[in-house]
Structure 1
Amino acid sequence: MINYICNKWKAIKRAKNILKNKNKIPPYLKKNSFEEELNYKLWSTKGARFSASHRNHTLNKLSSKSIGYLSAYLIIIGIVNLYDINLLGIKILNNQVGFISTAFSVLILLFSQLESSENFSLKSERYHNCSLDIAELYTRARFIKNFTINPITKQSELLQISIDYDAILKKYENHLPIDYLQFQLTKPEYFGLNFIKIKWIWLKYYIKVYAIYHILIFGPLLTLFYIAYLK
């Protein structure tokens, strides 16, 4: 009797969990259709690779700006020492100027080497080309879905698209998880993103892409203002 009640309770609980998680199943998996799953993979990968291309393009611009600003700070520090100028009432001694100049020079050299090794411009172009290649497959898949009636022909063409899709993925570097999250922001209702999730993705994207460069660009100025405020 006890075993019967326990089994019955487990069955009811299992049924409730299935019903509860039913809406969490991605739309392309609900019908267990190869065609819909393939369409979704093409669509989402295409969007994620476009996002990856945009991210690397942004990183390339921010990298150049950061090196430019750091170089400008280095020149300004030398000018301040040369003309004996007080910045916001702060007097910088010669030995301090020498240390700051040396530190900035090393930082610029190290940062330039690290950034150049990343090849953001090349990665942006490759991700863009990858998304264009997948976009062609996606167009073919949509055309087959709407205009191919013969099921055997349709099956053969979809299989070929799947093979071509795998071949394209092998040619290019995979995108980062943040790129897929950023792509989801273009269709927040489809992916079930509420206000908090959207803001969380924005925050993660900012930390991943912008944060370090904003620190390098604005950090020295903020530090100078902070020291002047303390005085």
Structure 2
Amino acid sequence: MIKEFLLYWKKIQRAKRIKKLKKKIPPYLQKDFEVELNYKLWSTKGARFAASHRSETLHRLSGQTVGYLSAYLIIVGLVNIYHLQFWMITLNDNQVNFASMSFSVLILLFSQLESSENFSLKSDRYHNCALDISELYDKLRYVKTYENNNPDKKDILKKISIDYDKILKRNENHKPIDYSKFQLTKAPYYELNLIDRTLIRTEYYWRVHFKYHLFMYGPIIIFLTINFYKIFYSKS
């Protein structure tokens, strides 16, 4: 009796483990090759378009940041000429010269680092890659819809898969955040709740926007913080 019970218990535990492992396998891998290929083309196409948009955004923010830093450099340089006072802050000649040199070095370093990334070129490449995959995806959808009984369907799917692999080999891979961004546009399909969507948006802002916003608005925030501190300190 005990032996039979233990055997039955082991079967239950084994069934639970199998069920748990199946849940870890992506749904598209649990179906046939055609469904798997369809999902890979669809998701990769979306991720590459997201990567193109991210690179374009980085290129735009990079140019804006250099413009902001250059404006700060010019403004600081005018202090010596017109003997200006920044609200509650008064800078002597040495401080103005130091600030000017600091902004100059920062702009030079930032410009070199950003130009080496070639965001504009990456954006075009990601976009062209997405268009190539989109062409294969449309071909696959056509075969599924109108040539489902075609005896050569197996060979057509194989050729689409080979062409897809060739496209991946000759193009740079997208970042994980690009795939997350694509998932965000298809939130109902991926069953993303409010917390999931918020985490993705937060990570995207941190990886794409935060650095540039820090350089663009950081000096203004520091300037206002020091002035308000001086006002509060002088009153107390």
TM-score range, shorter chain: over 0.9
1:71 aligns with 2:70: yes
Of 110-119 and 140-149, deviating more is 140-149
* Cα-Cα RMSD: 1.7
Amino acid at match of 2:65: S
User: Aligned partners of 2:184, 2:117: CA distance in 1, in Å?
Assistant: 26
Q: 1:26-37, aligned counterparts within 5 Å?
A: 26-31=26-31, 33-37=32-36
1:102 aligns with 2:88: no
Amino acid at match of 1:12: I
Deviations along 1:112-136, whole A, 9 cap, x unmatched? Answer: 0000000000000000000000000
Paired residue for 2:50? Answer: 51
Deviations along 1:37-67, whole A, 9 cap, x unmatched? Answer: 0000000000000000000000000000000
Of 83-92 and 208-217, deviating more is 83-92
Q: 1:3 to 1:110 in 2, by over 3 A?
A: farther
Q: 1:155 to 1:104 in 2, by over 3 A?
A: same
Q: 1:24 to 1:189 in 2, by over 3 A?
A: farther
How many residues align structurally? 230
- Overall identity of the aligned pairs, in %: 58
Q: Runs of 5+ in structure 1 lacking a partner?
A: none
Deviations along 1:121-170, whole A, 9 cap, x unmatched? Answer: 00000000000000000000000001114453110000000000001111
Amino acid at match of 2:229: L
User: Aligned partners of 2:111, 2:78: CA distance in 1, in Å?
Assistant: 23
Paired residue for 1:222? Answer: 221
Q: CA deviation at 1:21?
A: 5.9
User: Aligned partners of 1:56, 1:149: CA distance in 2, in Å?
Assistant: 38
User: Aligned partners of 1:62, 1:87: CA distance in 2, in Å?
Assistant: 27
User: Aligned partners of 2:98, 2:6: CA distance in 1, in Å?
Assistant: 74
User: Aligned partners of 1:72, 1:2: CA distance in 2, in Å?
Assistant: 83
1:38 aligns with 2:26: no
Q: 1:230 to 1:159 in 2, by over 3 A?
A: same
TM-score calculated relative to the size of structure 1: 0.94
Q: Runs of 5+ in structure 2 lacking a partner?
A: 231-236
Q: CA deviation at 1:81?
A: 2.3
User: Aligned partners of 2:55, 2:130: CA distance in 1, in Å?
Assistant: 14
Q: 1:206 to 1:3 in 2, by over 3 A?
A: farther
Paired residue for 1:112? Answer: 111
